[in-house]
A and B are shown apart, each in its own frame.
Chain A
Amino acid sequence: MSDAIIPEREVEEQELYHAKSWWTEKVFSQDAKIIGIQYFCTATAIALIGLVLSWFMRIQIGFPSLAIISEGFYYQAITMHGMIMVVYFLTALFLGGFGNYLIPLMVGARDMVFPYLNMISYWTFLLACLVLVASFFTPGGPTGAGWTLYPPQAILGGTPGQESGIILMLVSLSIFIVGFTMGGLNYIVTILQARTRGMTLMRMPLAIWGIFTATVLAMFAFPALLVSAIMMILDKTLMTSFFMPALVEMGEQLSYGGGSPILFQHLFWFFGHPEVYIVALPAFGIVSDVLSVHARKNIFGYRMMVWAIVAIGALSFIVWAHHMYVSGMHPYFGFFFATTTLIIAVPTAIKVYNWVLTLWKGNISLTVPMLFCISFIITFLNGGLTGLFLGNVIVDVPLSDTYFVVAHFHMVMGIAPVQVVFAAIYHWFPLMTGRMYNETLGRLHFWFTFLGSYLIYFPMHYLGLIGVPRRYYEMGQTEALYTQSAADLNIFITLTALVTGFAQIFFFINMFWSRKYGVPAEKNPWQANSLEWRTPTMPPGHGNFGKELPVVYRWPYDFNVPGAKDDFVPQDVPNSDVELAEGFEGTEIKAEKT
């Protein structure tokens, strides 16, 4: 029987570090699962700061007469909200959090290949967060340069945080990149070198493909941010002129001269655009896995899904200048970037079609993770379509710097990935804690979050279309330009944002309560196939698997295989061990036709 042949072990049994004290077990842990949870907690904590900052902004926009914050703080809030959410929350959560938790479990490894480096990676990330938050307490406060930190204004007088906030921001980003590189090497090498027997690349769950490709992107994209951060720090502290042109400030000629602010924009967006996919690709992967499990169907077009992930990753490096149309560029240049931007919609559309086709005729159970997956598809589709508008130079120029853009990027890389984060947390909560979450609270959380975020961002498209500009502290006497309804809509959006933000309390109550008092989860509660559910204990212990690492006999999407009794066949079950359905006795599933 073919299944009986098991290849010799070539991936050596890893020598695990065994913690000797409470400190090395729980705090300075080298176990990827604990490091993953540390990433989760830190990223969520800093995201809450980002959320509160967004409330300040929304209250100011909705009720400008209250003037609850100053102009300067408004810009600081914009900047910190953007940078926190994109880099310190989503990137860290998907790659540091889910990467650490899922990679070793899903590929059948005991831990990451370099556990010590992995631990240092987390603590470096924490340091980066602390440096960032420290800027709130320095003279002048955090930088208010906008999350893109465009020079020259980022380091000139008049911009809030010009004194020290901008330096702390750049230093924090540099620390983040160093920490990420250590983690990233771990993710790549573990996926390439530490898979268990039988786990070919094309048998990996799509979540791992997404995390893997995103990490590769990050390894090439973050250096661009590091380059621009280093050069801007030097411009600020040593008065070099990499990005700074000749300037007159307050009637005084500054010592800068000859630098190119556009050079910064190119470097920044060479990082900035792949960054979108660094966040999106793990989300794509995770949503594919969760959809497949909760629809009891194999993912539609697995190969195509892998190709799309790789293609999107490659294309993401040649679209960056579509963020710079309004900076001015040669028309052919704009044409090139508009074309590549539209091309990237093809693999992305393939993915959306495949998710929908996975649901088609599936045995869908509308669990909380599934609800979040469906809402992800809807939100992502909406955000993706407006991306097609903005990818065209001629449409982008009038819409640039309006609320249309705010609506677009929040839909596509704010709300959509966050919904995947929730789907993933609810899906893997039983694995991480050994208990089930509370279904009612989960559903309440879903409906508030989905409807709330849709009601926040969908109307913003209309605001943008009538030309309401983004980044304005208040509109002032603008009745001549905008109708009263624009102001009313802003009030509505603000109220919805407050309600949606506060509704996240359902999530936190659910997590904290269920972690301790939830119903104990049975093993593999979703009846999934991938290896993380096949550990001897739940939550998995140190070293993940039992005495022997599992051996893989199939891809992770064998749902409803003809002839099998159960509607799922886990990856580590050979064909010969599959329980057969009535009427199929004496045969073997997936037997080749003779």
Chain B
Amino acid sequence: MSIFDTLAQKPWLPSQEKKDNLHTGKSFEFDSSRVALICFLGSITALFSLFFVAYVGRMAYGDWRILPEPPLLWFNTAALILSSFLFQKAKNLSNRFIFQSAKYYLMAAGLFALIFIAGQIKVWNLLTSYGYFVDSNASFAFFYMLTGLHMVHMIGGLVVWTWSMTQMYKTDLSYTKLKSTIGSTAIYWHYLLVVWLILFCLLIVT
């Protein structure tokens, strides 16, 4: 039922009452943590969109300098894509409750994410060694800030990843909860990949 149909209901009418009495109380079929994740991603989307708008808005001013793109960024991007791919694999396996194999994919996904973060820090090192500091120009400031924020979100994901990994080694683990957590974290992982790709495109284009 669409939101417009819902909003058009007249709950006081006896005919509508009969229909409403059969309502189960849930708005969405999938579980609550998934709904929370979607809302959370909506909020982060607002956050990153506003940063991107600010980025484009600030670009229009005359002092904007073009940022160099160290080739390492391509390597990092590849690592993140691989990480996302492996996470998806882990998710597919855990959906079928094959946790023994899922464990290795999950571990590899986390490792590649760590490689990405290490790579990003290396990029920061490279840039500062070239003399591109955070206060040198707004374009550099944006680069450091946005990559930093992206990393903070990655680290947040890694906290959940660590929890999932420790669960894997428990004897009395709740499989359904683990499956749902891995599923949600995978979505979050893909989401952060998309954010990074947009950010990366923005850097290349400008």
Q: A residues near B, CB below 8 A?
A: 2-3, 5-11, 108, 113-114, 181, 184-185, 188-189, 192-203, 219-220, 222-224, 226-227, 230-231, 234, 238-242, 255, 257-260, 263, 266-267, 270, 298, 302-303, 306-307, 310, 552-555, 557-558, 575, 590-592
Contact = CB atoms under 8 A, between A and B. Distances in A.
Contact of A7 (B24, B32, B47): B24
Given A195-B26, A260-B57, A189 B32 contact: yes
Interface string B2-26: 0000111111101101101111111
Given A185-B36, A185-B40, A241-B138, A224 B50 contact: yes
5 contacts: A219-B42, A224-B46, A239-B135, A240-B145, A303-B7
B145 A231 contact: yes
B27 A10 contact: no
Given A201-B27, A238-B134, A263-B58, 14 more contacts: A5-B22, A113-B32, A185-B39, A192-B28, A193-B28, A201-B6, A203-B20, A219-B43, A241-B63, A258-B138, A267-B50, A298-B12, A307-B7, A552-B20
Nearest to B50: A227
Nearest to B149: A230
Nearest to A2: B18
Q: In the A-B complex, list the 6 residue pairs whose CB atoms are closest, starting with the nearest.
A: A258-B63, A223-B47, A240-B141, A10-B24, A195-B25, A555-B11
A592 B15 contact: yes
B55 to A, nearest CB: 10
Contacts of B51: 227
B79 to A, nearest CB: 26
A554 B12 CA distance: 7
Interface in B32-79: 32, 35-36, 39-40, 42-44, 46-47, 50-51, 54, 57-58, 61-64
Nearest to B55: A242
A482 to B, nearest CB: 40
Contact of A223 (B11, B17, B21, B50): B50
A47 to B, nearest CB: 27
Interface of B is mostly: helix
B43 A181 contact: yes
B12 A192 contact: no
Centre residue among B8, B11, B22, B51 by max chain A CB count within 10 A:
B11
Contacts of A575: 17
Contact of A219 (B14, B17, B46): B46
A114 B36 contact: yes
Contact of A553 (B17, B25, B42, B61): B17
A203 B8 CA distance: 12
Contacts of A222: 43
Contacts of B11: 200, 202-203, 302, 554-555
A242 B50 CA distance: 13
A305 to B, nearest CB: 11
A5 B24 CA distance: 12
A592 B14 contact: yes
B202 to A, nearest CB: 15
A197 B23 contact: yes
Nearest to A222: B43
Residue among B7, B35, B138 with the most chain A CB within 10 A? B138
A302 B7 CA distance: 10
Contacts, number: 170
A194 to B, nearest CB: 7
Contacts of B15: 592
A3 B21 contact: yes
Nearest to B30: A193
Contacts of A7: 21-24
A270 B49 CA distance: 13
B187 to A, nearest CB: 15
Given A11-B25, A241-B141, A257 B36 contact: no
A200 B18 contact: no
B141 A306 contact: no
A552 B42 CA distance: 31
A157 B181 CA distance: 49
Contacts of B40: 181, 185
Contacts of A553: 17, 21
Interface string B117-146: 000000000000000001101100110010
Contacts of B35: 188-189, 192-193
A10 B6 contact: no
A204 to B, nearest CB: 9
A473 to B, nearest CB: 34
A302 B22 CA distance: 21
A10 B54 contact: no
Nearest to B133: A238
A8 B25 CA distance: 10
A553 B18 CA distance: 8
A67 to B, nearest CB: 41
A263 B57 contact: yes
Nearest to B57: A263
Interface string B141-162: 1100100010000000000000
A554 B145 contact: no
A166 to B, nearest CB: 18
Nearest to A109: B25
A113 B7 contact: no
A32 to B, nearest CB: 15
A241 B141 CA distance: 8
Contacts of B24: 7-11, 197
Contacts of B64: 258
Contacts of A11: 24-26
Contact of A193 (B10, B27, B61, B141): B27
A197 B145 contact: no
B25 A555 contact: no
Contact of A230 (B9, B36, B145): B145
Contacts of A227: 47, 50-51, 54
A200 B26 CA distance: 8
A240 B138 CA distance: 7
A557 to B, nearest CB: 7
Contacts of B22: 5, 7, 198
B10 to A, nearest CB: 7
B175 to A, nearest CB: 17
A588 B18 CA distance: 14
Contacts of A591: 14
Nearest to B8: A303
Contacts of B12: 298, 302, 554-555, 557-558
Q: Which of B21, B64, B141, B149 has the most CB of A within 10 A?
A: B21
B32 A255 contact: no
Contacts of A192: 26-28, 35
Given A231-B145, A238-B135, A200 B36 contact: no
A10 B25 contact: yes
